[in-house]
């Protein structure tokens, strides 16, 4: 008995898990779509590329080493015109060669290297946010597909109920026909309407299949016919407006990048201090009057300062200021358009919510009318066509309620997307 009880319990657990696995949420679809989209890997690529670029920029702080070598032959060399007493005249070779290692070390660069690194960092962030903006478009597509699938499921349920109600009514009508209460045509009317409802159901299922196929492509998920799409609870704060869209953040980063560009422009005006050194071996050495090959070396420091560049720096600053103004105008224009779109979504939410309230009243009335019509049909005081008209009116009321319900959820989702809440 204990063994049987264990097996039964195990079966219940497995069955429950199987049922759970058939459920699919909006967040799961969004997450799968993010992983499946090739653009999801772009941010890491941007980060890796920027890291390499930063290392190249920071190399400017390290000693710069150059290996140089040359060999020459000249037809004439310097000769002394006077002879030195008790000393042979030095002979400078016509064939000469030297090899050297030159080292240059930036001691003070005016902050130009740091400014270049800052600019590169802002470029990386801008690229990543632009990539996030592209992914947002994909998220909006997933939202659209998901709510359309939910609507298809709800509509299919309504039509199935219509078919079930009409089938049950057909049994009673056929019995009334046998009793002579109703004409045979009454059963034909109901049978025809059942077939038409089946066509509507087939159309809804075909639409859902197309939507599911698109969802599978975007998410990479395997979605079976038994998969249940869970209706999401979308909670949004409709009282305050905050723009967290990636596109909006790009404008701020572009402004900061321009400010870093200004600092780089200023840094270029400042003098630069270098240390340098040369070590080598050649014939002749630094002392050209000393015969034979020799080692030579030099160390020192130098200053480089372009103190006059014909107002180039001033014009570059003006270009930066103008660019900042352009970006600020673009930011304000985008925010204005987004606020307008958000207001439309708020209006859609309020409208759908109000329509849903009246939908419930309409459905209640339509159900009452259908029940009355069914009773009259059974009593032979109402034609089958009139009953079908009332039945279809009830069905349409339910379909309209489903549409408004999905419009409400989708409007909330669109509002959330417009404000960066996805």
Hey, is 69 helix, strand or coil?
A: strand
Contact between 286 and 100 (Cβ < 8 Å) = no
> Which position has the higher pLDDT, 237 or 15?
237
For the residues 141-161, what does the mean pLDDT come to? 96
Report percent pLDDT > 90 for the chain.
72
Give the mean model confidence (pLDDT) for residues 288-293.
77
More confident: 233 or 87: 233
Mean pLDDT across 215-219: 96
- Residue 10's pLDDT is 40
**Token duo for residue 382:** 């109402």
pTM of the model as a whole: 0.82
At 12 the pLDDT is: 45
pLDDT of 207 higher than 60: yes
Mean pLDDT of 336-357: 94
pLDDT band at 259 (very low <50, low <70, confident <90, very high): very high
d(CA 155, CA 400): 9
CA 283/CA 290 separation, integer angstroms:
9
Q: So where are the chain's domains?
A: 29-65+101-270+305-418
Q: Is the separation of the CB atoms in 146 and 229 below 8 Å?
A: yes
227/215 Cα distance (integer angstroms): 13
Tell me the three state secondary structure of residue 226: coil
Q: How much is the pLDDT for 56?
A: 95
The pLDDT tens digits for 367-385 are 999 999 999 998 888 999 9
Q: What is the pLDDT of residue 82?
A: 62
Give the residue from 343, 349, 344 showing the smallest Cα distance to 410.
349
What CA–CA distances, in Å, run from 327 to 118, 400, 405? 19, 45, 40
Output the pLDDT for position 11: 43
Scan for tokens 């039945």, then name that residue: 391
pLDDT band at 286 (very low <50, low <70, confident <90, very high): confident
Residue 288 pLDDT > 60: yes
Q: How far apart are CA 53 and CA 51, in angstroms?
A: 5
CA–CA gap between residue 264 and residue 74 (Å, rounded):
47
pLDDT of res. 41: 93
DSSP one-letter string for 306-363: ----TTHHHHHHHHHHHHHHHHHHHHHHHHHHHHHHHHHHHHHHHHHHHHHHHHHHHH
Q: Please state, rounded to an integer, the average pLDDT across all residues of the chain.
A: 89
CB-based contacts of 57-63 (< 8 A; 24+ apart in sequence): 57/113, 57/116, 57/117, 57/120, 58/113, 58/117, 60/106, 60/109, 60/113, 60/116, 61/106, 61/113, 62/105, 63/103, 63/104, 63/105
CATH topology of domain 29-65+101-270+305-418: Outer membrane efflux proteins (OEP) (1.20.1600)
Tell me whether the omega of the peptide bond preceding residue 290 falls within 30 degrees of 0, making it cis: no
Q: What angle do CA 187, 159, 368 make, to 5 degrees?
A: 75
pLDDT of residue 217: 96
Whether residue 80 has pLDDT greater than 80: no
pLDDT tops 80 at residue 88 = no
Please provide residue 152's backbone torsions phi and psi, each rounded to the nearest 5 degrees.
Answer: -60, -45
Asked if pLDDT for residue 203 goes beyond 90, the answer is: yes
Spatial separation of the C-alpha atoms in residues 263 and 258, rounded to whole Å: 9
């Amino acid at each position: 008995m204990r063994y049987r009880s264990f097996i039964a319990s195990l079966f219940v657990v497995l069955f429950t898990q199987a049922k759970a696995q058939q459920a699919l949420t909006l967040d799961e679809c969004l997450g799968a779509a993010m992983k499946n989209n090739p653009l999801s890997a772009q941010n890491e690529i941007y980060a890796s590329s920027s890291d390499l670029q930063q290392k190249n920029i920071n190399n400017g702080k390290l000693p710069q080493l150059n290996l140089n070598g040359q060999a020459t032959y000249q037809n004439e060399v310097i000769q002394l015109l006077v002879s030195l007493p008790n000393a042979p005249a030095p002979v400078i070779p016509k064939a000469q060669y030297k090899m050297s290692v030159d080292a240059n070390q930036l001691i003070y660069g005016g902050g130009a290297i740091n400014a270049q690194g800052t600019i590169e960092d802002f470029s990386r962030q801008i690229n990543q946010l632009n990539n996030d903006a592209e992914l947002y478009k994909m998220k909006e597509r997933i939202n659209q597909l998901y709510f359309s699938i939910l609507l298809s499921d709800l509509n299919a349920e309504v039509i199935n109920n219509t078919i079930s109600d009409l089938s049950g009514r057909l049994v009673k009508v056929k019995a009334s026909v046998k009793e002579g209460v109703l004409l045979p045509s009454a059963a034909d009317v109901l049978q025809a309407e059942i077939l038409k409802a089946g066509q509507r159901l087939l159309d809804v299922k075909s639409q859902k299949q197309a939507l599911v196929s698109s969802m599978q492509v975007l998410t990479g998920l395997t979605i079976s016919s038994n998969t249940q799409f869970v209706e999401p609870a979308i909670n949004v704060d409709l009282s305050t407006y905050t723009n967290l869209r990636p596109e909006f953040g790009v404008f701020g980063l572009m402004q900061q990048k321009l400010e870093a560009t200004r600092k780089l422009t200023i840094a270029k005006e400042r003098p630069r201090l270098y240390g340098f050194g040369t070590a080598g071996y050649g014939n002749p050495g630094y002392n050209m009057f000393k015969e034979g090959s020799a080692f030579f070396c030099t160390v020192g420091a130098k200053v480089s300062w372009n103190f006059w560049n014909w107002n180039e720096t001033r014009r570059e600053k003006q270009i930066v200021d103008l660019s900042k103004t352009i970006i600020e105008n673009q930011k304000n224009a985008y925010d204005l358009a987004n606020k307008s779109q958000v207001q439309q979504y708020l209006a859609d939410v309020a409208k759908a919510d109000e329509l849903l309230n009246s939908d419930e009243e309409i459905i209640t009335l339509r159900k009452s009318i259908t029940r009355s019509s069914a009773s009259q049909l059974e009593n032979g005081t109402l034609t089958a066509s009139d009953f079908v008209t009332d039945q279809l009116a009830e069905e349409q009321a339910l379909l309209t309620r489903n549409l408004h319900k999905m419009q409400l959820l989708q409007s909330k989702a669109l509002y959330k997307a417009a404000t960066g809440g996805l």
